[in-house]
A and B are shown apart, each in its own frame.
Chain A
């Protein structure tokens, strides 16, 4: 068995860094692969516009990669920072930070591939609107990065948190749970936001006149899709900043870990579902602009109802933290 605390901390930070960069790179790669596949398709449709399409793909990829670069920064910090702490809690915090950023980058990486791909396809269909299409794609994929930014904030706070003399026994679970909560909940919101942005690019290529309404609907839909990741952030902050009384029982630790897992996984489904709703609404705003108000209202109600399972997960998490 390892008895040396420094070794365990090193192991935890290396493991966290590996998860972080591995998952972050996979997410960005899937997104870029989607964009590249769509670009191939559109170049084969319209070979004479290949220059424009490749330019669009380049710019889209550069922005879509941001989530992966966040993961890289966190991984480098985890590997090269010399943790002089002799507290075992540091190991939990560093591992939690790696998990948080790794999972948080997947959703945004995959998600921001959709607007890039749809924009490439749209360029082959409607060459005259290339400027508007690219602007819309960039706004969409920049908003997609929000869950990844949330995860980066949480993992930086976990890395640089002043552990002090907090009791080890339940706090390790709280720190690990804080990482899982924000990181995993960000997957759904990132993918949902990406679906919405992709639909908006497709819509603008179909009917460029409706640019204003489509962009507004997209932004509102993406903002509401971010709600599950905001819930995840809320649970993380509570787990990080509440001081838990020392107790050596297993159940106290498992309650805190369970709170993080519950909110994290509970956020995936509603995030994707909200994205699907916004996707449908954005697509049809461009086809039937007269019904835009009706569509926005239905989208908001539908998204609100499909969020309710995320809210149940948040309630269970809060019960696990505060009541049990």
Chain B
């Protein structure tokens, strides 16, 4: 096997991209699901406020998704820039 410096850097970048996106997806996934579950509970309590609650849920999810997007950006940077 001919392993050179540049090859090792590339290999590290690829596996790092996989790790970054893989582990980065855990937190936002659980968090967004938690937010949506709480929104469902709130709608069960007050169905007439459903529109407002759905919007609030979406805003909250969008904010908690930002760490997932950071991971995506890092992964793409590792794949295409390094």
Question: In the assembly, what is the distance between CA of A279 and CA of B40, in Å?
Answer: 9
Check if A269 sits within 8 Å of B36, measured CB to CB: no
Residues of chain A lying within 8 A (CB to CB) of residue B22? 261-266, 313
Check if A306 sits within 8 Å of B32, measured CB to CB: yes
Which of the residues B25, B40, B54 comes within 8 Å of A281, measured between beta carbons?
Answer: B40
- Contact of A294 with B18 at beta-carbon distance under 8 Å, contacts A287-B44, A303-B36 already known: no
Residues of chain A lying within 8 A (CB to CB) of residue B30? 269, 272-273, 276
Question: In the assembly, what is the distance between CA of A216 and CA of B62, in Å?
Answer: 28
Check if B39 sits within 8 Å of A298, measured CB to CB: yes
Which of the residues A257, A261, A277, A320 comes within 8 Å of B36, measured between beta carbons?
Answer: A277
Q: Which chain B residue has the least Cβ–Cβ distance from A279?
A: B37
Question: In the assembly, what is the distance between CA of A264 and CA of B18, in Å?
Answer: 10
Q: Is A81 an interface residue (CB 8 A)?
A: no
Interface size of B by CB at 8 A reads 54
Tell me the chain B residues, 11-34 only, with Cβ under 8 Å from chain A: 11-19, 21-34
Residues of chain B lying within 8 A (CB to CB) of residue A169? 1
- Contact of A316 with B18 at beta-carbon distance under 8 Å, contacts A248-B2, A290-B47, A306-B32 already known: yes
Q: Is A308 an interface residue (CB 8 A)?
A: yes
Check if A312 sits within 8 Å of B33, measured CB to CB: no
- Contact of A309 with B7 at beta-carbon distance under 8 Å, contacts A302-B61, A320-B79 already known: no
Q: Is A92 an interface residue (CB 8 A)?
A: no
Check if A277 sits within 8 Å of B40, measured CB to CB: yes
Residues of chain A lying within 8 A (CB to CB) of residue B7? 249-251
1/0 contact string of A106-126 vs chain B (CB within 8 Å): 000000000000000000000
Instruction: List the 10 closest pairs (A to B, CB-CB), nearest first.
Output: A273-B33, A302-B36, A284-B44, A269-B29, A258-B18, A280-B37, A265-B22, A306-B32, A269-B26, A270-B29
Which chain B residues have a beta carbon within 8 Å of chain A's beta carbons? 1-3, 7-8, 10-19, 21-41, 43-45, 47, 50, 53-54, 57-58, 61, 65, 68-69, 71-72, 75-76, 79
13 contacts between A and B (CB under 8 A): A249-B3, A250-B7, A251-B11, A253-B11, A258-B17, A266-B24, A269-B27, A281-B37, A287-B44, A302-B36, A305-B61, A316-B17, A319-B79
